[in-house]
Amino acid sequence: MKSVPLVRLLAGLAAFACVSAAHGQLTVSGDTTLNSNHPTFNYGSLSNLYVSASQKTLVQFDLSALPAGTTASQIARATVSLYVNRVNTAGLISVAPVNASWNEYSVTNATAPAIGTAFTSFTATIPGQYVVIDVTSQVQSWLSNPGTNFGIALTTNAANVLLDAKENDQTSHVSSLDVVVTSMGAAGATGATGATGPQGPQGIQGIQGVTGAVGPQGVAGVAGATGATGATGATGAAGAPISFKNTWSSSTIYSTGDAVFYNGSSWIALTNNFNVTPGSDGTVWALLAQQGSTGATGATGATGAQGIQGIQGLGGATGATGAQGTTGATGATGATGATGATGYMSFEGTWSSTTAYSLGDTVFYSGSSWIALTGNFNVTPGSDGTVWALLAQQGATGATGATGATGVTGSQGLQGIQGVTGSQGPAGATGVTGATGATGATGASGTVAYQSIYSAGTTYSLGDVVSDSNYYNSYISLANGNVGNALPVGNTPTAFWARLAAQGAQGLQGNVGPAGATGATGATGATGATGPAGTAGDGQTLTTLPLAVVGHGAASTQANFSLTSSAATTSSTSNYYIVATLAPSSCHAYVTIYSPSNAITWNLFEATYSGGSTFGTPSSTSCSTSSGNSYSCTIDGGTVSAGTALWLNETNATTANFTTAFSCQ
């Protein structure tokens, strides 16, 4: 049973400022044992403290009961009293300060705080009595540095001793810290006598006088006959540490080593059990301490001498507090602040180590597009997956195409292709850096919406995404009312457009075939039919399925769009959001989903598309957005063949804001 720590200060300490010295006794605020043989056990609730080669004891005292303002120089003497319950092996015990905080109900040997250098020691030889340790210098140190009071540690190399813990309510031999405090200083000059005040109320009862001497011990009863000594049993295996669980209850689950009180005796559990009455099964409970018969009542001791007169009672209580004043008038309500802009993605151009980025900002870096999962500064995309997520990965450069066969000799060839440009001349000296321009106003945030192939006659809004005519590159609009403004060339954005995903590197040029002989000029033939469009050259990034970044508002339930002119727009799968058919060549498909604050499982379906609304049996791959991945996840669709349809849905059909980025590499 846990005892409540008390602070007992003698009356002399209450009158601290009026005497030359005062004495106070402070009880323990926390004590426990650490056992290296059971490093993960906590022993804070045991009634004994253990000190041995494998066990050390921690004890802490609360100094807050000392008079306010007590300094180290005023501590004349401080001693700790510990009750020695049992001495298995006598020996030297060292006392050292504990250097870090700990909690008696959770600390274990595995989580033990650091222990400093021993400042004193004592030898425990006789059980059943107190040992007194001088800790004056340590208490002075704690008062000089209040944040270092983590108590003391008792350690030994050879002794094996049991001390009483503050939980030991059978003996009440609680450890204590006795402190003698000197006067606050010489008394000042006597002030003028004030007017006599009204008669105060009766003072409180003075403290009880010193207890009289103990009366003589009663006559001992007649000793019973000694029973025959039984044969010595075999030594049992070492049991688990005892943990006292109070009175046995049929509704409590007990573990090996738990001790209980039942019908006047103490019992210990030999195995884990539930609702097994102590004494009913010897394999479950063992008798730990049997209730003894009541001894004869001893003779009453002589009455002690009258205690000394108690000190003068304290002054009368302070008068009642006056009535509370009238509540002041409520102040005027302040004006409502402006509503902040809402947004999920803002393209910031090429990544820069000198720019501070916010959640949802997208950048272009090393051929790929990235989205910020949190506010950051000078964190390179790709170096930390908790800060940047890959939005669209740069495709690998395709292999050089094979040289075509030499054509038949035709009419006079066209002008030959221009020769290869000569190597670039050395760079000129760097000019003087111009003055830094003023920081522009922060742009408004907004959502992203894919608008298919760019058209000069279409009016685009901030955040709209388009592709070029070949689906090689994707661009994002940087302004509202954006109409008739040409798409930028290269990675440098204009005032109206910025490239969101770049075209891959140009494949190597094929060898020029030999020039044919000049034939006779023939009659002009009829114009031939237009041949089929050739396959896009190898080495182009995202040739079969361009990068597509699309923002979906909460009102979207089936936000379908096509990425090629032959895309399917229907699916037999419910709750679908995106569906597309790949161009004629195969590639590796990826889709990244970003859905702020939504924990959702997303499914990427793949099936052969035969036209109309006909699909083969789909296969699916999934990922989930959650707080653990900053609500962004990527599905690897693997290598898909030409004519494969892709569509995306989410398992629970939850209405949610989200942004998707498809790529095929």
pLDDT at 306: 58
Name the DSSP class of 52.
B
**Contacting residues for 546 by C-beta, under 8 A, at least 6 apart:** 467, 471, 472, 473, 474, 501, 563
Q: Cα separation of 474 and 489, whole Å?
A: 12
Name the DSSP class of 481.
S
Q: Cα separation of 131 and 82, whole Å?
A: 5
Give the dihedral of Cα atoms 544, 550, 554, 560; nearest 10 deg.
-30
Q: Give which of 76, 78, 63, 64 is closest to 19, Cα–Cα.
A: 76
Q: Cα separation of 410 and 516, whole Å?
A: 7
Tokens read off for 185 = 């200083």
Q: Cα separation of 385 and 245, whole Å?
A: 50
C-alpha angle with apex 114: 112 to 118, nearest 5 degrees? 120
β-strands 55-61, 265-269 pairing: unpaired
Other Cβ atoms less than 10 A from the Cβ of 404: the count is 9
How do the domains of the chain map onto residue ranges? 7-182, 243-289, 346-392, 548-664
Q: Cα separation of 219 and 295, whole Å?
A: 12
How far is residue 19 from each of residues 11, 12, 16, 185, measured CA to CA in Å?
11, 8, 6, 10
Name the DSSP class of 264.
T
State the amino acid at position 603 in one-letter form. N
Name the DSSP class of 161.
E
Residue with tokens 């030898």: 123
Tokens read off for 22 = 């005062």
Q: Cα separation of 564 and 532, whole Å?
A: 17
- Residues paired with 587 in a beta bridge: 640
**Contacting residues for 564 by C-beta, under 8 A, at least 6 apart:** 471, 545, 580, 581, 582, 583
Q: Cα separation of 625 and 448, whole Å?
A: 19
pLDDT at 131: 93
Other Cβ atoms less than 10 A from the Cβ of 310: the count is 14
Helix (H) or strand (E) holding 134: strand 129-134
Q: What is the pLDDT of residues 542-574, one digit of tens each?
A: 233 444 444 454 433 333 333 333 333 333 334
Decide if 83 contacts 163 (C-beta within 8 A): yes
Q: Cα separation of 14 and 67, whole Å?
A: 8
Tokens read off for 126 = 């006789």
- Which CATH superfamily, name and number, covers 243-289? Carbohydrate-binding module superfamily 5/12 (2.10.10.20)
Residue with tokens 């008669």: 199
Q: Cα separation of 27 and 9, whole Å?
A: 10
346-392 shares the fold of 243-289 = yes
Burial 636-661 (b: 16+ CB within 10 A, else e): ebeebeebbbbbbbbeeeeebbbbbb
Decide if 373 contacts 388 (C-beta within 8 A): yes
Residues of the chain short of pLDDT 50, as ranges, are 1-19, 186-187, 239-240, 340-342, 534-551, 553-579, 581, 583
Give residue 67's Cα distance to chain centre.
Answer: 40
State the amino acid at position 216 in one-letter form. P
Tokens read off for 304 = 């002690």
The CATH number given to 346-392 is: 2.10.10.20
Decide if 372 contacts 388 (C-beta within 8 A): yes
Q: What is the pLDDT of residues 438-484, one digit of tens each?
A: 776 765 555 788 889 999 999 999 999 999 988 888 999 999 999 99
State the amino acid at position 81 in one-letter form. S
Decide if 401 contacts 507 (C-beta within 8 A): yes
**Contacting residues for 259 by C-beta, under 8 A, at least 6 apart:** 242, 243, 244, 245, 266, 267, 268, 269, 288
Helix (H) or strand (E) holding 140: helix 136-144
Phi, psi of 509 (to 5 degrees): -75, 140
What burial class does residue 166 get, using C-beta atoms within 10 Å of its C-beta: 0-12 exposed, 13-18 middle, 19+ buried? buried
Helix (H) or strand (E) holding 268: strand 265-269
Strand order in the sheet with 346-350: 346-350, 361-365, 368-372, 388-392
pLDDT at 618: 75
Q: Cα separation of 159 and 154, whole Å?
A: 11
Q: Give which of 173, 151, 130 is closest to 3, Cα–Cα.
A: 173
Give residue 173's Cα distance to chain centre.
Answer: 43
Decide if 552 contacts 660 (C-beta within 8 A): yes
Q: Which three-class secondary structure state does DSSP give residue 38?
A: coil
Q: Cα separation of 104 and 292, whole Å?
A: 33
Other Cβ atoms less than 10 A from the Cβ of 665: the count is 19
